[in-house]
Amino acid sequence: MIDLIHVTKRFGEETAVEDISLSVARGEFCVLVGTSGCGKSTTLRMINRLIEHSEGEIHIEGQQIRAFRGETLRRRMGYAIQSTGLFPHWTVERNIGLVPRLLKWPAERVRERVEELMTLLGLAVDEFAGKYPRQLSGGQAQRVGVARALAADPDILLMDEPFGALDPITRETLQEELRALQARLQKTIVFVTHDMDEALRLADRLVVMHQGRIRQQGHPLALLREPADDFVASLLGGEDRGLKEAALLPVSERMLPLGPRLVARERVVQHATLREALSIMLWRHAERLTVVDDEDIPIGELSLRRLVGARSHD
Amino acid sequence: MRRETSRPNIVLASLLLATLVAWVGLDAVSVAPNRIVPGSGHGAHEVAGTAGLAASLLPLLAGLGLAWRPTLGRLRLSLGLVVAMLAALPAWLALAAANLVDPALPQARMGIGAGVWVALFLLLLAMIELRSRLSLSRALGWALLLVPLASLTACLAVWLEPLALRQEYLGRSEQFLGAIGEHLLLVGVAVAASLVLGVAMALAMRHWPGVQKVGFAVLNFLQTIPSLALFGLLLAPLAWLAANVEWLAALGVSGIGWAPALLALVGYSLLPMVRNTFVALDEVDPGVIEAARGMGMSRGQVFRQVRLPLALPVILEGIRITSVQAIGLTAVAALIGAGGLGTFIFQGLGQAAMDLVLLGALPILVMALVADALLGALTDLLRPGGAT
């Protein structure tokens, strides 16, 4: 869907991005992560030609992006940024309808699409359509930002630290919603962040960048288990990597069927993460947990040994 | 009663106290037997007798009392009192005219004394303070001013015949309207021209950063030349142009008159106009511009639909500053024969007739205030996200 082939970007003497190659498949959630100034935002903006790349080729669905006019290309891709970039002088409705209007959709269709999106993102149409951005909370504004990016139903969504300015609770809620939205809509997403937890939570493909180069890319679990070098290891959390990995795996992955032994008193639901299970063990001083389903019916058990020992590469 | 509102309103109390001191201590009016003889001052007690003076102090004392323990209701009452006092000022002058001006002397004239001027000024300040305390709208504030204005109009028509200001006006009523017209025309053309030029220059500066440094240096330098000197400097080149270029001369261009005045006015107006326009366009949130471009708006669309509307309030602010400044500067332009209300000021200064100076200065003051208020209201209306 998106292919970067040996792409380099220079600003004068300085090289911001150096010889990176990256392929994002259709429907894949690709997260670029790294410290500030590592070139991740530059990479994102080269994809929609807000920044022109200096060398190499960038293809969208097999076509060179330079074959399109910048505006045409951008109208085909959703774009959401930190601090939302909503137009303060436009209502929520007008903000969301921006790209469809640029594409000259008939007014009626724009209105329907705006209402559809507001409903999709949990914004009551009657309450929010006429409001101005400064009347919204941070989370609401960011929902509008995402709705605006989705407005023309683009196949590709580019997001530059969209949740960077939100409080942790709102951020987590929106991350969950974005993940659910992605599962439903199957967009191809390129997402930039410096928050490793956010990156691990969202990514199908994690791309670690440093000083303009890609240091490692792959599935989050693969990176956690085999970081290419010390930098990647430390960025992924250093000694905390075990916990980060546990946070990505559900309890159901490690549980055993109910054995002949007595059921343990402490319980954990099957779709909780291993990290949560470990936390319960620490908290309750328990070495065994009973795994239950949503109806609180025991379906298996999880021991500390099993939680710790059954790591696939051990 | 909330504690917040029950603390003494120091601002209002000091304003009213100062009004009281000025009212009692300074001359209320001055009366002269004719235009040439300097007038003699009369205090408030001479206008209405000791009892009358005492009566005139009652509303002030009441206002002071209300300011001591202000509640919402008391503040409203104070506002009513202040408006009533403002409305009573012309009546007070009428009373002074009746009691102090000898009807046997048809040339006798009465000037407004420092006490009344200071009272007028301080009461207006008190009104502004109360308007903001009560968070009344701008429009309502102006509407309240209509009451004293109506009272002034009525008094001028019926009782204030000896008022020197009125006599100066009657002697020049046609000239007066003409001067206002000239003044407004000069200001209007200067502001319009500097708006067009200023926006063009600001756009050029945004486009070529080199122009920016040079441009601001020139404009800053222009601003430091004293206005009189600038008029003088323009005299020679314009006179030469008028002598050598026929169509310019036919247009009325010459070394003195409206042409140098207009040029100087535009020169002075450019700096605030260009600076505000430039800053306004430059300081639009880069995140918003980035989003607009990222959504696929063309450069033209970004400018017309996003940058310009967001910059508009600050640009209007520039027009406001420029207009107020130009209204004042145009007074000086009278010196080189450009006409306008400055004519009266300089005539009055020449003849040591302060009331004639006032006849020129007061309308300039009113014009500046009205321009300020109208453009301020327009700016509020155009703030992003609509009016609050």
Q: Closest-CA residue in chain B for A160? A: B291
Contacts of B296 in chain A (CB under 8 A): 70-76, 99, 102
Most confident of B95-109, B131-145, B271-285: B271-285
> What does the pLDDT read at residue A47?
92
Number of domains within chain B: 2
> What does the pLDDT read at residue A109?
92
Whole-Å CA distances, B105 to B31, B47, B109, B110, B379: 11, 18, 9, 12, 52
Domain assignment of residue B387, yes or no: no
Among B295, B298, B309, beta carbon nearest to A79: B295
Quickly list H helices, chain B.
3-6, 10-25, 44-68, 72-100, 114-133, 138-158, 164-171, 173-207, 209-224, 227-244, 246-251, 258-282, 286-294, 299-301, 308-333, 342-350, 354-381
Q: What average pLDDT score do residues B93-98 get?
A: 84
Most confident of A208-212, A267-271, B101-105, B240-244: A208-212
B205/B241: higher pLDDT: B205
In Å, how far is A88's CA from the nearest CA of chain B? 6
> Residue A71 and residue B296: Cβ atoms within 8 Å?
yes
> Residue B291 and residue A88: Cβ atoms within 8 Å?
no
CA angle B181, B187, B192 (to 5 degrees): 120
Are both B136 and B249 inside the same structural domain? no
Contacts of A79 in chain B (CB under 8 A): 291, 294-295
- Which of B109, B130, B164 is the endpoint of a domain? B164
**For every residue of B64-121, which 3-state class applies, written as one string?**
HHHHHCCCHHHHHHHHHHHHHHHHHHHHHHHHHHHHHCCCCCCCCEEEECHHHHHHHH
Are both B89 and B200 inside the same structural domain? no
> Residue A86 and residue B291: Cβ atoms within 8 Å?
yes
Q: Is pLDDT at B53 greater than 90 in this prediction?
A: no
Share of chain A above pLDDT 70, in %: 98
> What does the pLDDT read at residue A95?
92
> What does the pLDDT read at residue A224?
87
Domain assignment of residue B160, yes or no: yes
Are both B309 and B340 inside the same structural domain? yes
For residue A52, give every residue at least 6 positions away whose Cβ sits within 8 Å of its Cβ, in sequence order, or none: A46
Q: Closest-CA residue in chain B for A95? A: B292
How far is it, in rounded angstroms, from Cα A36 to Cα A199? 15
B80 in Cβ contact with B67 (< 8 Å): no
Q: Is pLDDT at A312 greater than 50 in this prediction?
A: no
Domain assignment of residue B116, yes or no: yes
- Which of B164, B196, B230 is the endpoint of a domain? B164
> Residue B309 and residue A89: Cβ atoms within 8 Å?
yes
B113 in Cβ contact with B88 (< 8 Å): no
Are both B194 and B314 inside the same structural domain? yes
Q: For residue range B174-202, what is the model confidence (pLDDT) as tens digits?
A: 888 888 888 899 999 999 999 999 999 88
> Residue B291 and residue A74: Cβ atoms within 8 Å?
no
Contacts of B288 in chain A (CB under 8 A): 85-88
Q: Is A62 exposed, middle or buried (0-12, 13-18, 19+ CB in 10 A)?
A: exposed
Domain assignment of residue B386, yes or no: no
How far is it, in rounded angstroms, from Cα A299 to Cα A269? 9
> What does the pLDDT read at residue B6?
66
State the CATH class of domain A249-309: alpha beta
Q: Closest-CA residue in chain B for A78? A: B295
CA angle B150, B156, B160 (to 5 degrees): 140
Q: For residue range A173-229, what is the model confidence (pLDDT) as tens digits?
A: 888 888 888 888 888 999 999 888 889 888 999 999 998 888 898 898 888 888 888
Domain assignment of residue B388, yes or no: no
Q: What average pLDDT score do residues B2-18 get?
A: 77
Among B291, B385, B386, beta carbon nearest to A81: B291
Are both B159 and B200 inside the same structural domain? no
Domain ranges, ordered by start, for chain A: 2-239, 249-309
Chain B contact present for A83, CB below 8 A? yes
> What does the pLDDT read at residue B45?
81
Are both B87 and B11 inside the same structural domain? yes
Crossing angle of helices B173-207/B354-381, nearest 10°? 40
Q: Is the dihedral of CA B234, B239, B245, B249 positive or negative?
A: positive
> Residue B385 and residue A135: Cβ atoms within 8 Å?
yes
> What does the pLDDT read at residue A176?
87
Share of chain A above pLDDT 90, in %: 18
Q: How confident is the model at residue B338 (pLDDT cuts 50, 70, 90)?
A: confident
> What does the pLDDT read at residue A31?
93
Q: Which of B130, B56, B65 is nearest to B89 (CA)?
A: B56
Whole-Å CA distances, B308 to A89, A98, A294: 11, 17, 55
Q: Of A145-159, B23-37, B309-323, where does mean pLDDT reach its minimum?
A: B23-37
B67/B5: higher pLDDT: B67
Q: Is pLDDT at B248 greater than 80 in this prediction?
A: no
Share of chain B above pLDDT 90, in %: 11
Q: How confident is the model at residue A158 (pLDDT cuts 50, 70, 90)?
A: very high
Among B287, B288, B296, beta carbon nearest to A99: B296
> What does the pLDDT read at residue A188?
92
What part of B 294-323 touches A (C-beta under 8 Å)?
294-298, 301, 306, 309-310
The CATH number of the domain holding residue B187 is 1.10.3720.10
A200 in Cβ contact with A248 (< 8 Å): yes
- Which of B120, B145, B164 is the endpoint of a domain? B164
Q: Is B236 exposed, middle or buried (0-12, 13-18, 19+ CB in 10 A)?
A: exposed
> What does the pLDDT read at residue B323?
92
Q: Of A154-158, A270-274, A281-285, B134-138, where does mean pLDDT reach its minimum?
A: B134-138
> Residue B385 and residue A74: Cβ atoms within 8 Å?
no
Q: How confident is the model at residue A313 (pLDDT cuts 50, 70, 90)?
A: very low
Q: Closest-CA residue in chain B for A151? A: B295
Are both B153 and B242 inside the same structural domain? no
> What does the pLDDT read at residue A261?
75
Task: Please provide the average confidence, as pLDDT, over all residues in chain A.
Answer: 87
Q: What average pLDDT score do residues B34-43 get?
A: 78
Helix (H, G, I), strand (E, B) or coil at A84: coil
ipTM confidence score = 0.78
Range of the structural domain that residue B348 is part of: 173-381
Q: How confident is the model at residue B387 (pLDDT cuts 50, 70, 90)?
A: very low
> What does the pLDDT read at residue B384?
61
> Residue B292 and residue A71: Cβ atoms within 8 Å?
no
Q: What average pLDDT score do residues B277-289 get?
A: 88
Are both B224 and B372 inside the same structural domain? yes
Are both B280 and B188 inside the same structural domain? yes
Interface mutation target, options B284, B295, B308, chain A, most CBs of A under 10 Å: B295
> What does the pLDDT read at residue A314?
37
Q: Is pLDDT at B102 greater than 80 in this prediction?
A: no
How far is it, in rounded angstroms, from Cα B74 to Cα B258? 53
> What does the pLDDT read at residue A30?
93
Contacts of B297 in chain A (CB under 8 A): 71, 98, 102
Are both B224 and B110 inside the same structural domain? no
A94/B101: higher pLDDT: A94
Are both B183 and B134 inside the same structural domain? no
Among B291, B310, B385, beta carbon nearest to A85: B291
Q: Of A173-182, B9-18, B96-105, where does mean pLDDT reach its minimum?
A: B96-105
Interface mutation target, options A98, A99, A101, chain B, most CBs of B under 10 Å: A98
Chain A contact present for B385, CB below 8 A? yes
Helix (H, G, I), strand (E, B) or coil at A302: strand
In Å, how far is B18's CA from the nearest CA of chain A? 43
CATH number of A2-239: 3.40.50.300
> Residue A85 and residue B293: Cβ atoms within 8 Å?
no
Q: For residue range A72-82, what is the model confidence (pLDDT) as tens digits?
A: 889 888 898 88
Domain assignment of residue B123, yes or no: yes
Q: For residue range A100-112, what is the model confidence (pLDDT) as tens digits?
A: 999 899 999 999 9
Are both B216 and B68 inside the same structural domain? no
> What does the pLDDT read at residue B319?
92
Chain A contact present for B49, CB below 8 A? no
- For chain A, list the strands marked E by DSSP: 2-11, 14-24, 29-33, 55-60, 63-64, 77-81, 156-160, 188-193, 205-210, 213-218, 267-269, 288-292, 298-303
